[in-house]
Structure 1
């Protein structure tokens, strides 16, 4: 992190000239304002001075002071033993990456993480578990199955109590119907949680206060032993973060999590599952090469229309042939080329429209029909636009 953010030290102190949206050149002072990180990384640098046994109470705890923290670390580095070092749970990291960043408050910079703290945290790990204990697994499963279908909303027609792995999208889909599921199945104090709304910060603050007022019912029903939950405590800082940085939609780690699917899961499925790391790296390199070549050919096509005229098709074909013949390859000339066919397709059940828009296979259906007619004349199956391949 220190290496990545090193350019911000001089830029934040002296400024850098940048071209703004109005085409004017201005001196800008970029600083570290928001730090979007997963929950485990956020736990390494807590925001406030709440003690470990008070995170279940609606406290207005003091925020950490970066300057005071650096002073404590400096004293510890010089051989002193300040009492705040142990009381605040500090570690012997004497030069944290944010120490030299100008105008940066790392403790205010941490933003809420909806995926880890809310969807998979408070909702899945705690709220769903508590309500399952109150309602019962069979009744909860029955209520999920009985929910009517709605366009754009996932219908959980199978049991949810036996599921062990949920995605962030499924958590949000469950939240859309969860209040309706609890109606008539839980005490009235439990369902008061529905007062939470994202329309205003006052609504968020009042909903959190209502929760802490009525949360003891969960202990009385013996479904929860305590509320000393770090993720639950993080909600008390949401209003401050929203005031500083805007809507929490911008801080959700769900979008970059999608890159994990593109660069890891799909890449692994494309391998033969044996020595897959090298195959994954080569597959990504090939995908990038294909993308760059396609972009170059598209640029040549646009250039032919704008500059070369309609009578230069031969010149375009010559340029395309030259570009493809001189394109760098990742295959070592000293190694034989081995072609491996995966046991399962990397992208199964693709629609015809997807093949046309993504791969440019505009003549896929006519070509397939011609192939089947030629090689399987007795075949009665005719592929159509609604089939998947």
Structure 2
């Protein structure tokens, strides 16, 4: 059997052909129908008629079952049914037949969409079926209105076995959260604060991996994609933490509301959920509703009747019912528009294009299957297996380039170009501490004065790639790697200065766990280097060499207590005698070096 984890990863990869095109739905606006209401009904009926045709083959297998061979070769009787519909809000309205502005799943009145704390019953599917089966048009229309739907003619799910469209609507991270709630939240923040100040704060953010710096701010952006809203969400809380509201109003509730929405956003995307994480998900939504009144008080909002915001209360239910949200995120299907529509259309002569598009896709799928068969015959295993199916972790969490960025950087250049003024002194302390692990901080300081440097330059790397996975826990990201940059400023081909980038990192002191900040310290990496061969005699007495890749870092204070409102930690650089406290740590394991630096800080 193919595990759910494997099947989910295959579905998310267009190259694995986990999803295929069944049909192109008509997009005709039926403009020859002059009455707008009649035109909308006709469009809805046309959609359901097409879907009924497509899903017709599910009737008999859903009732009687069908024999299917699974990945282990065992033939089982399976009952394929219509279980979930993945789409944005207009498609949800079209599928369920409810009116625009209403929840497609529950019976909440449109005017009460913004209310929180009251549980509304799910839409009565049996009552809807009874209303649809009434023959008289007038009575049928009245019965459908009483059941809360439009009088659709033979919706496609009416006769599907075990189908309930009101319990088949899936959460949608892309359209409901990023292009919905986050989009609203950004607009509210821009209305509440000075856009000039927001843009200035965006420009002041430091560069870092996975963080996009909006050099022109965010106030002038429009028609943003989901990816751009995701980039804004990463920095949104940092923009508003200490920004005062106009008129001197307290920003505490606004900060709490922003934090609650962001918590919900990231919890909803967990690849694995437990009852504890789903409780945290519901708690984040409760915290937003507890603090949302601040937007009304400052004149940003006057109503909360937003269907996408209301649907968040159904997330925990549907995650329990249909699985985690990465199973049905519309971001995957949006990506398929390129392969199944745009590329297919580009292969035609733009005349009578649909038969050409379907034929082109059919032939391409046959080529993929033939390629898979040939590869299987040649190699004895299926081609293009996802990496997780036969996953082997890297030999080391650290992934470095084969050659350094600079083969020999003098100590003077390290000091001047990389901003490491105490490089020689700190490196001497590292060598003494490594060779004498039992030394105290005072002994290390005294012995470092006598270290004989047989070299005056080091090979330097401008970035390091770290693998973030954990074999004992679920994989945390699709791209489980992070990049550390330690790049000095330089001039481009036009003579313009390109700013340097020196990233901050979390350094494990030897007891840090899979999650949380306990056991970690923050440091800024100034130089990533390795010792030359001429440094080997310095370690001859102990008979072992130090780790190959080292980093000169400047320390920040330890984590204290998180703020009650935004739940972030405030740290600052460690300054001793007017200078930044620095040390050399290993990129593979900072436990030895961290134990010494903690002793130094305690003294």
- Name the one with the larger helix percent: 1
Partner SS for 2:81: coil
Q: Do residues 4 (structure 1) and 54 (structure 2) align?
A: yes
Q: How does 1:6-85 map to 2 (within 5 A)?
A: 6-44=56-94, 45=96, 46-58=104-116, 59-75=118-134, 77=136, 79-80=138-139, 85=144
Which 5+ residue runs of structure 1 have no aligned equivalent? 307-389
1:148 aligned partner = 206
Give the CA deviation at 1:49.
Answer: 0.8
User: Which residue of 155, 161, 174 corresponds with 1:115?
Assistant: 174
Distance 1:207 1:76, change over 3 A: farther
Give the CA deviation at 1:231.
Answer: 0.7
User: Which residue of 192, 208, 223 corresponds with 2:256?
Assistant: 192
Q: How does 1:85-104 map to 2 (within 5 A)?
A: 85-104=144-163
Distance 1:9 1:276, change over 3 A: closer
Distance 1:8 1:139, change over 3 A: same
Give the CA deviation at 1:90.
Answer: 2.0
- Name the one with the larger strand percent: 2
TM-score (norm 1): 0.68
Larger radius of gyration: 2
Distance 1:235 1:84, change over 3 A: farther
1:205 aligned partner = 282
Query: Residues 112-146 of structure 1, C-alpha deviation per residue, up to 9 Å, x if partnerless?
Result: 1111111000111x101110011221111111111
Distance 1:188 1:294, change over 3 A: closer
Distance 1:266 1:160, change over 3 A: farther
User: Which residue of 220, 228, 249 corresponds with 1:170?
Assistant: 228
Is residue 107–residue 123 contact of structure 2 (8 Å, CA) maintained in 1? yes
Is residue 66–residue 107 contact of structure 1 (8 Å, CA) maintained in 2? yes
Distance 1:290 1:5, change over 3 A: closer
1:367 aligned partner = none
Separation (CA, whole Å) in 1 of partners of 2:327 and 2:356: 33
Is residue 74–residue 94 contact of structure 1 (8 Å, CA) maintained in 2? no
Aligned pairs, how many? 302
Give the CA deviation at 1:152.
Answer: 2.7
Separation (CA, whole Å) in 2 of partners of 1:248 and 1:10: 29
Give the CA deviation at 1:264.
Answer: 5.2
User: Which residue of 164, 172, 177 corresponds with 1:105?
Assistant: 164
Q: Do residues 134 (structure 1) and 204 (structure 2) align?
A: no
Q: How does 1:300-311 map to 2 (within 5 A)?
A: none
Distance 1:72 1:288, change over 3 A: closer
Query: Residues 13-66 of structure 1, C-alpha deviation per residue, up to 9 Å, x if partnerless?
Result: 111111123322111111111111222111232111111101011131111121
Give the CA deviation at 1:72.
Answer: 1.8
Give the CA deviation at 1:238.
Answer: 0.7
Distance 1:152 1:267, change over 3 A: farther
Partner SS for 2:304: coil
2:319 aligned partner = 242
More RCO (CA 8 Å, sep 6+): 1
Is residue 49–residue 88 contact of structure 1 (8 Å, CA) maintained in 2? no
Distance 1:20 1:262, change over 3 A: closer
Which 5+ residue runs of structure 2 have no aligned equivalent? 1-50, 97-103, 246-250, 271-276, 381-603
Distance 1:77 1:94, change over 3 A: farther
Distance 1:297 1:49, change over 3 A: closer
Is residue 9–residue 101 contact of structure 1 (8 Å, CA) maintained in 2? yes
1:320 aligned partner = none
Query: Residues 126-171 of structure 1, C-alpha deviation per residue, up to 9 Å, x if partnerless?
Result: 1011100112211111111111111132221123211112111111
Query: Residues 199-219 of structure 1, C-alpha deviation per residue, up to 9 Å, x if partnerless?
Result: 611111111112112211111
Q: How does 1:258-337 map to 2 (within 5 A)?
A: 258-263=335-340
Partner SS for 2:87: coil
